[in-house]
Structure 1
Amino acid sequence: MTMAAALDLPVIDLFGLMPDGAPVERIRLRGADGFEVSVLTLGAIIQALHVPDRRGETADIVLGHDTLEPYLRHRRYFGAAVGRYANRIRGGTFSLDRRDCRVPANDGLNALHGGPDGFDRRLWKIEATEGGATPSVTLGLASPDGDQGFPGELRAQITYRVSGTELSIAFAATTTQPTVVNLTHHGFFNLAGIERSSDVLDHVLTLDAEAYLPVDATAIPLGGPAAVAGTPFDFRTPVAIGARIREGHEQVRLGRGYDHNYCLPGGPSATPRRAARVEHPGSGRVMELLTDQPGLQFYSGNFLDGTAEGKFGRLYRQSDAFCLEPQAWPDSPNRPDFPSARLDPGETYRHLSLYRFSTL
């Protein structure tokens, strides 16, 4: 191996130890112009993401922690992979082939992000790494039959890959029994850089969707898709996140801001297509999100309440970050009119999302 090739390999170090002494590793993947992502084996968490601005200066743009202990103490999903079922399942129950399945409720009466012990709490295993111009790491996790009430043994993989200033996240999963699967990345982004920034209300957002799902007081979809036209949910043309977040719309009130699924046109797609674009005028950073998923959950950080101390010793407060979570529609297992999240033996669940960074 040449010295140049060695320098292109992912860098792996020890991030901390679990209570049982198991090591939590951190893998760093480096791209162009200082672009770098740090991934933990705990929860397949993206712990840091350094992105250059228009002056070429890099900054970490994702919420998280500098050490392991806060990730273990509080479940906040910062940068985590969530599953088996991202978002909510009404009442934590669904029926599959006349079998009643019960996922323990952990969000009022509902199951959220896979139940109380979801994939974000698990220790994933490094299965492969690659160096070169597009370094990557593949993490794997085995979830036994009946895990959190979900049927079938599920084997899941996530591959993080860096190419220049693009991050791709590819999920795959197989099952031994019919089941439901909905995996996503739960990154909390602030394109200004989290060390010195305040909120994200000045970020300019475009969402390529004509409809969203209104929800009830427990964040479960009320009915079918509703048109965004004429509402604060219309981001088809660029609008600042904070421009209409205080309008007296019932759905904004229920979510304390935005926390809704956008219905991407055409449903699941064979290849990723653009779903969102976010610009930060001050730094010039731009993030475009492409995905093959049918939905995109937009969350404006409404429940960050100043109790979480993150990196650089900063307290995270309301709207300090936004989330764009590509996924199946919430409560799909109970909604035959929604795109299906079913996975059968012999099939492979796949989900590919691309995060492309540039500058204005």
Structure 2
Amino acid sequence: MKKTILLAATSLIIWSCSTPKKQEEKTVEAPVESGLTVSSSDFGQMPDGSAVSLFTMKNDNGVIVKVTNYGGIITSLIAPDKDGNMGDIVLGYDSLSGYLKSSPYFGALIGRYGNRIADAKFSLDGEEYQLQANDGKNHLHGGVKGFDKVLWDASSFKNETSAGVVFSRVSPDGEEGYPGNLTAEVTYALNNDNELTFEYKATTDKKTVVNLTNHAYFNLTGDPSQTILDHELELPANTFLSIDNTLIPTAQTAVEGTPFDFTSATLIGARIGEENEQLAFGKGYDHCWVYTDSSDSLKFGGSLYDPSSGRLMNIYTMEPAIQFYSGNFLDGKLTGKGGINYQFRTGLCLETQHYPDSPNQPEFPSTVLEPGQEYYTKSVYEFTTK
């Protein structure tokens, strides 16, 4: 990844004051020397009649990323294989109705808090906050109506190196039980190095907790009828967080000598079926890996490779950890794009983030945001072949 690219998403941020009731399709042309474009089109309506938009980012290499302002969802990501054939490498639905009806966070922007919070509560300065319990007794991915289930204000932008979309909203004090009015701004940007950048910003008027991420389900074969078990995964992490049977972290554990060692590229299916209490609790991999490099600078966060297509995804992140979920709860009941039923382990998630349940575990890196501070983090997903 070229260092000169990393500031691509930080300029020309446009704030939209409100979500339009109706948007006509428009295309913002990039400079003459670049084929980068971003366009918007109608993607249906919310139950209250609010218009939903679909934004399409394209680069010179034929990479296409489609996102909607409902939930900040990535609905499609089309990238070339080793022979130049294009394929959609994320799971999702063909229309808005699928996402409104039932979705296991396909492609969604997750907040206020990605992952789980034990017993759906936490305390700040001696005051307890009760959250919505939507995963048994625990709180998951922001609650019953998290950031993935709301309509965001959205504006497209382009500059000389990238094209993208800025999503913004104010999460009101008390939403899903969280304190403070949280002003959030999230930028998705595509460049000509086939890098998709996620840039997250937030401020608050009251002490709160924040942990934003994206929940795309990847299948680098481009054929979601195939499992992800033949993908090779590398994670630069010497430890992972052991969990209890409700998937709440209990300890930081060395990966060496366990099925959780991905310090060198390893087939996902190689050890996923082993007898192991942690694999049994997660029904496979559904754990948080702690990066060996604990700095908050942009660093290598892992790679995913599909030998059959030659597609390779490299991750760079400022976050201290990554949640690897191997699609263990996909069961064939959801009919996705192209009428395909998504079967067991036909997609996986690699969510850059802070640790689960950090608000209740003071030894974990803090996710507290104070008034006057700015929450800021960035992750880059680079798509190439070998």
> TM-score when scaled to structure 2?
0.90
In the alignment, which residue of structure 2 is the partner of 1:178? Answer: 207
| Separation of aligned partners in 1, 2:133 and 2:198 | 28
1:2 Cα deviation after fit: 10
Judged with a 3 Å threshold, the aligned counterparts in structure 2 of structure 1 residues 2 and 324 are, in CA distance, closer, same or farther, namely: closer
1:131 Cα deviation after fit: 4.8
Choose the corresponding residue for 1:159, options 187, 195, 200: 187
| Separation of aligned partners in 2, 1:279 and 1:234 | 16
1:193 Cα deviation after fit: 0.3
In the alignment, which residue of structure 1 is the partner of 2:10? Answer: none
Tell me the secondary structure at the aligned position of residue 176 of structure 2. helix
Correspondence list, 1:294-313, <5 A: 294-313=320-339
Letter in 1 for 2:198: I
In the alignment, which residue of structure 2 is the partner of 1:236? Answer: 263
Q: Please tell me whether the aligned partners of residues 57 and 164 of structure 2 are also in contact (alpha carbons under 8 angstroms).
A: yes
In the alignment, which residue of structure 2 is the partner of 1:71? Answer: 99
Tell me the secondary structure at the aligned position of residue 313 of structure 2. strand
1:350 Cα deviation after fit: 0.9
In the alignment, which residue of structure 1 is the partner of 2:381? Answer: 355
Q: Please tell me whether the aligned partners of residues 30 and 37 of structure 2 are also in contact (alpha carbons under 8 angstroms).
A: no
Q: Please tell me whether the aligned partners of residues 108 and 215 of structure 2 are also in contact (alpha carbons under 8 angstroms).
A: yes
Correspondence list, 1:1-360, <5 A: 5=31, 8-164=36-192, 165-194=194-223, 197-223=225-251, 225-269=252-296, 271-360=297-386
1:3 Cα deviation after fit: 6.8
| Separation of aligned partners in 2, 1:181 and 1:57 | 39
Q: Please tell me whether the aligned partners of residues 267 and 339 of structure 1 are also in contact (alpha carbons under 8 angstroms).
A: no
| Separation of aligned partners in 2, 1:238 and 1:32 | 30
Gaps of 5+ in 2: 1-26
Letter in 1 for 2:213: T
| Separation of aligned partners in 1, 2:130 and 2:357 | 13
Gaps of 5+ in 1: none
Letter in 2 for 1:185: N
Query: Over aligned residues, Cα RMSD in angstroms?
Result: 1.5
Larger deviation, residues 95-104 vs 7-16: 7-16
Q: Percent identity?
A: 44
| Separation of aligned partners in 2, 1:39 and 1:300 | 23
1:194 Cα deviation after fit: 3.2
| Separation of aligned partners in 1, 2:61 and 2:300 | 24
1:268 Cα deviation after fit: 4.7
Letter in 2 for 1:259: D
Letter in 2 for 1:250: E
In the alignment, which residue of structure 1 is the partner of 2:18? Answer: none
Judged with a 3 Å threshold, the aligned counterparts in structure 2 of structure 1 residues 252 and 4 are, in CA distance, closer, same or farther, namely: closer
Cα offsets for 1:159-217 (capped at 9, x unmatched): 1111121100101100000000000000100000036x410000011011000001000
